[in-house]
């Protein structure tokens, strides 16, 4: 296991370019976007023109062929300014991951070039009212009927589920088989029986709609099944293993953004005749924030490098990186508010938004409690192998 994560010159240059784009094109509009709760179409067009949506798709399908470390740099730099930009830029990489993992060559040629170009997009339809952490508890069913599958059920908390052209829907083809009965289907927007029931009113990430989706006798062509029947569990786990380092990168970016605001404020704000930064109590907070961010970044890059190496240790380190980085984001944003005091609680300063954004990263792509169980299971497995 190498786990190398030193950045190349090309990656460092990309970081500078994405940071410039985020600061010049997104940052001046964040307050307006949050207030309207609408992510501007022109920014989506910008991501498309800059070929950021296809950055990590394979070159043979029209993508940039970027590795996981490069993708994490993109997500970190966008989250440093505004987390909503991450999902608008990368939703298809999440939703299209099942096709990358288990799709036929015909499916890859048919869908991935459009996803990579940003001409079409795709959400991931995994979570349900009774199946969040318990993926095996999915109740949506898919019954074979000739050349079609008939889907019935509902999905919750689907990011951009009301906007995307397709949704990769996980459903039970064998309800009695628990996780072994799970399969994946690509459902196109406008398919009869597929509807959006409602949009959620969230604490943060408010410019990224989160939808409840309904499937009522929804007939999906059998050719839209991704992978074999019963392969859905494996596809879901492999998808999350690949995407969790990116969520960790979001945590790093959120923490970095909040830290920079707190650091700047502590230098400018005077109390008792001296800048806040001159007081040891504030210095200790800044030090702890810096430690959390740097440690989280290294863990994220290590887990991303292991993804690029197709290491068997990916599930272990992806869970560690996601958990530590997002918990660190919560700690850092909490302390950033404290450094700003009463101002930190006000919307005039962005640290309260970073705080709201950080909270979600501890929950989605697998709640951190579940990640800890995954980590413990792997630790015990490794220990048993040594005995």
For residues 326 and 333, is the Cβ–Cβ distance under 8 A? no
Give the pLDDT confidence score for residue 296 in this predicted structure: 98
Which among 184, 237, 224, 211 has a CA at the least distance from the CA of 378? 237
Query: What whole-number distance in Å separates Cα of residue 225 and Cα of residue 227?
Result: 6
Give the pLDDT confidence score for residue 3 in this predicted structure: 46
Give the pLDDT confidence score for residue 1 in this predicted structure: 38
Give the pLDDT confidence score for residue 381 in this predicted structure: 87
Domains of the chain: 9-117 (1.10.540.10), 122-229 (2.40.110.10), 233-386 (1.20.140.10)
For residues 55 and 66, is the Cβ–Cβ distance under 8 A? yes
For residues 319 and 371, is the Cβ–Cβ distance under 8 A? yes
Chain centroid to CA 332? 19
- For 313, the 3-state DSSP assignment is coil
Q: How many CB atoms lie within 10 A of CB 386?
A: 5
Query: What whole-number distance in Å separates Cα of residue 18 and Cα of residue 52?
Result: 9
Q: C-alpha dihedral over 80, 55, 126, 121, to 10 degrees?
A: 110
Tell me which of 24, 37, 365, 378 is the catalytic residue.
365
- Residues across the chain: 387
Instruction: Please identify which residue in the block is written with the tokens 């958990």.
Output: 323
For residues 65 and 137, is the Cβ–Cβ distance under 8 A? no
Give this prediction's pTM: 0.95
Secondary structure (DSSP) of 94-138? HHTHHHHHH--HHHHHHHHHHHHHTSS-EEEE--BTTBSS-GGG-
Residue 365 appears among annotated catalytic residues: yes
Q: Nearest 5 degrees, angle CA 112-CA 113-CA 117?
A: 115
Give the pLDDT confidence score for residue 382 in this predicted structure: 81
For residues 266 and 277, is the Cβ–Cβ distance under 8 A? yes
Give the pLDDT confidence score for residue 356 in this predicted structure: 98
Question: Per the structure block, which two tokens stand in for 380?
Answer: 């015990």
Q: What are phi and psi of 279, to 5 degrees?
A: -95, 135
Query: What whole-number distance in Å separates Cα of residue 28 and Cα of residue 82?
Result: 11
Per-residue pLDDT of the chain (387 residues; tens, 9 = 90+): 354 457 899 999 999 999 999 999 999 999 999 999 999 999 999 999 999 999 999 999 999 999 999 999 999 999 999 999 999 999 999 999 999 999 999 999 999 999 999 999 999 999 999 988 888 899 999 999 999 999 999 999 999 999 999 999 999 999 999 889 999 999 999 999 999 999 999 999 999 999 999 999 999 999 999 999 999 999 999 999 999 999 999 999 999 999 999 999 999 999 999 999 999 999 999 999 999 999 999 999 999 999 999 999 999 999 999 999 999 999 999 999 999 999 999 999 999 999 999 999 999 999 999 999 999 999 998 876 654
Angle between helices 351-361 and 232-268 (to 10 degrees): 160
Query: What whole-number distance in Å separates Cα of residue 276 and Cα of residue 283?
Result: 9
Q: How many CB atoms lie within 10 A of CB 59?
A: 11
Q: Who's near 124: CB < 8 A, 6+ residues apart? A: 94, 95, 97, 98, 158, 159, 167, 168, 239
């Amino acid at each position: 296991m190498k786990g190398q994560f030193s950045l190349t010159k090309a990656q460092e240059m990309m970081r500078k370019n994405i940071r410039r784009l985020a600061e010049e094109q997104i940052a001046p509009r964040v307050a307006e976007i949050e207030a309207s709760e609408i992510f501007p179409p022109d920014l989506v067009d910008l991501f498309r023109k800059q070929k950021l949506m296809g950055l990590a798709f394979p070159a043979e399908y029209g993508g940039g062929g970027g590795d996981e470390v490069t993708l994490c740099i993109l997500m970190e730099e966008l989250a440093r300014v505004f987390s909503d930009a991450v999902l608008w830029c990368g939703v298809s990489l999440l939703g299209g991951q099942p096709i990358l993992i288990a799709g036929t060559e015909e499916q890859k040629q048919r869908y991935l070039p459009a996803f990579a170009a940003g001409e079409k997009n795709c959400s991931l339809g995994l979570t349900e009212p009774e199946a969040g952490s318990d993926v095996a508890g999915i109740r949506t069913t898919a019954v074979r009927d000739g050349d079609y599958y008939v889907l019935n059920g509902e999905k919750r908390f689907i990011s951009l589920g009301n906007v995307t052209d397709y949704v990769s829907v996980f459903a039970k083809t064998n309800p009695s088989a628990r996780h072994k009965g799970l399969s994946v289907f690509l459902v196109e927007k406008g398919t009869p029986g597929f509807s959006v029931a409602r949009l959620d009113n969230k604490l943060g990430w408010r410019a990224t709609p989160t939808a409840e989706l309904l499937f009522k006798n929804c007939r999906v062509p059998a050719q839209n099944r991704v992978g074999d029947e019963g392969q859905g569990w494996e596809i879901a786990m492999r998808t999350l293993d690949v995407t969790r380092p990116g969520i960790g990168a979001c945590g790093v970016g959120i923490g970095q953004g909040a830290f920079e605001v707190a650091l700047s404020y502590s230098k400018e704000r005077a109390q008792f005749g001296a800048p806040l930064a001159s007081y040891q109590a504030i210095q200790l907070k800044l030090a702890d924030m810096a430690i959390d961010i740097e440690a989280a970044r290294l863990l994220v890059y290590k887990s991303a490098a292991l993804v690029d190496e197709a290491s068997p240790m990916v599930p272990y380190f992806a869970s560690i990186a996601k958990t530590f980085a997002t918990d660190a984001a919560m700690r850092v944003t909490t302390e950033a508010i404290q450094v700003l005091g009463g101002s930190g609680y006000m919307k005039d300063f962005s640290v309260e938004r970073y705080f709201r954004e950080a909270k979600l990263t501890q929950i989605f792509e697998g709640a951190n409690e579940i990640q800890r169980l995954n980590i413990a299971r792997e630790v015990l497995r490794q220990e048993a192998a040594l005995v």
